[in-house]
Amino acid sequence: MIRVLVAEDSPTTRQWLVSILRSDPEIEVVGEAKNGQEAVELTHNLRPHVVAMDIVMPVMDGFEATKRIMVATPTPIVIISNTVDVREVKVALKALKAGALTVGKKPGGPGTQDNDLESSIFVSTLKIMSQVKVVGHWADRSILKPDATPLAFLRKLPIGKKGGIVAIATSTGGPAALNKIFSELPGDFPAPILVVQHMAKGFMEGCATWLNENSNLRVKLGEEGEILAPGTVYMAGDDLQMGVSQHSTLHLTSADPILGFRPSGTYLFESVARAYGSSVLALVLTGMGSDGVAGLKSVKEAGGWIVAQDQDSSVVFGMPEEAIKSGQTDFVLPLGEIAPLMMEMIPAEVKK
């Protein structure tokens, strides 16, 4: 049985949500919270498999409750709301940054338009997210105590005529992790950064805008044929594979999905390995699944470096864990150490 906690301040809406969930024989509603503080306490006491969390609640809202749960009792959380438009990019990113796995709309009441469809999506989302292995959320730790990384003993990234390049693959928890890294890099970071971030369609442009507003780097959606520039982050757009040409230009294509992913981290890693060889730094950050792992073989064979985010700082440890299991990673690092490593590995002679 999938154990669900429902956090909703309206008694009528809470009763309706509980009735929808109890209609599924695979779900057991183990608790009901009428505010965020109760949600935090009941999650700790009842240990549900997943929490359906409203946003606007008295005492403590859903964002703050999510943050506290992810610190004290890491649990899959689905943010739901009808008061706040969950389709707004800023709302979705705030929820993901807090530690929620996804956001969704509350099902309407009995007799409302699309009620059956919305109820079905609500139930299936909770079922899927209940299976995700989550860990404590890094954003609320006052002090990160990373393992001592021997940066002084690192060899520099070998740089050819094209310079170096950073390629990143991430999924669940990625926007917040990227924000952390990019906010710690200088605007004149001397290499381009290419990112595959799995998100629902329609959110990528807003995600790029949000990241751009919060860092010294230029962050944008990639465009076909543009010349790669240092200090710039290029993010793959909706339903497009992103790679690079031999002439250091961006290439976007509708090539087939890889293991169901388009954009795919594997496509990106294989492409940069072909074009940049040993001058590649590949990062696998927090996320669900194993996208990108198959492409790491190309990076390793070309002589590039591979870094995976560690378990303690990942919201979901799926992608980094699979990268580590593949035996190809050079470093497994806390999120707080990744930006310093990126700056350390760029040769001094490339820094302008």
Q: What is the pLDDT, as a whole number, of residue 88? A: 61
The mean pLDDT of 278-302, rounded to a whole number, is 95
Which run of H or E residues covers position 3? strand 2-7
pLDDT of 203 strictly over 90: no
CB 336 within 8 A of CB 313: yes
Q: How confident is the model at residue 90 (pLDDT cuts 50, 70, 90)?
A: confident
Question: Average pLDDT of 134-155?
Answer: 46
What contacts 97, CB < 8 A, 6 or more positions away? 139, 175, 176, 179
Which of left, alpha, beta for 259 (phi over 0: left; psi -120 to 50: alpha)? left
In this prediction, residue 155 carries a pLDDT of 56
C-alpha angle 162/164/166, rounded to 5°? Answer: 130
Question: Average pLDDT, whole number, for the chain?
Answer: 87
Average pLDDT over residues 154-169: 78
Q: Which CATH class is domain 151-350?
A: alpha beta
- Percent of the chain past pLDDT 90, that is, above it, reads 63
Question: What sections of 47-151 are H helices per DSSP?
Answer: 62-72, 89-98, 115-129
The length of the chain is 352
Helix (H) / strand (E) element for 243: namely: strand 241-244
Percent of the chain with pLDDT over 70: 87
Give the position of tokens 């806390």: 334
Please check whether the two domains, 2-132 and 151-350, share a CATH topology: yes
Active site residue 171: yes
Name which of 30-39, 148-157, 279-288 the model is least confident about.
148-157
Interval 162-187: pLDDT, tens: 778 999 999 988 998 999 999 999 99
Q: What's the CA gap between 298 and 274, in Å, rounded? A: 8
Domain ranges of the chain: 2-132, 151-350
Q: CA-to-CA distance for 215 and 237, rounded, in angstroms? A: 20
Lowest mean pLDDT among 58-62, 88-92, 129-133: 88-92
Query: Residue 304, exposed/middle/buried by CB under 10 A (0-12, 13-18, 19+)?
Result: buried
Q: What angle do CA 142, 311, 151 make, to 5 degrees?
A: 75
Query: 243 - beta bridge partners?
Result: 251
How far apart (Å, rounded) are the C-alpha atoms in residues 213 and 233? Answer: 13
What pLDDT was estimated at residue 148? Answer: 40
Residue 161 amino acid letter: K
Span 20-31, average pLDDT: 95
- Report pLDDT for 85: 58
Active-site entry in 119, 171, 264, 314: 171
Question: Cα(154)–Cα(4) distance, rounded to whole angstroms?
Answer: 47
- The confidence score (pLDDT) of residue 135 equals 67
Task: Find, among 91, 114, 111, the residue nearest to 103 by Cα.
Answer: 91
What pTM does this model have? 0.77
User: Which candidate in 54, 81, 119, 198 is catalytic?
Assistant: 198
Q: What is the DSSP letter of 134?
A: B
Higher-pLDDT residue of 212, 108: 212
pLDDT for residue 145: 35
pLDDT at 238: 92
Q: Judging by beta carbons within 10 Å of its beta carbon (0-12, 13-18, 19+), is residue 111 exposed, middle or buried? A: exposed
Residue found under tokens 């031999």: 246
pLDDT digits (tens, 9 = 90+) for 32-56: 999 999 999 999 999 999 999 999 9
Span of 86-90, 239-243, 279-283 with lowest mean pLDDT: 86-90
Kindly state the average pLDDT of the residues 317-344. 92
Distance of CA 71 to the CA centre of its chain: 17
**Which residue in the list 9, 54, 291, 310 is annotated as catalytic?**
291
Question: Quick one: pLDDT band at residue 137, thresholds 50, 70, 90?
Answer: low
For the segment(s) 2-132, the CATH number from 3.40.50.2300, 3.40.630.30, 3.40.50.1450, 3.40.50.970 is 3.40.50.2300
Query: Each residue of 243-254: pLDDT tens digit?
Result: 999 888 999 999
Range of weakest confidence among 134-143, 195-204, 239-248, 288-297 = 134-143
What is the C-alpha separation between 321 and 284, in angstroms, rounded? 9
Cα distance between residue 73 and residue 80, in whole Å? 20
Cα separations in angstroms, 250 against 15, 173, 278: 51, 25, 19
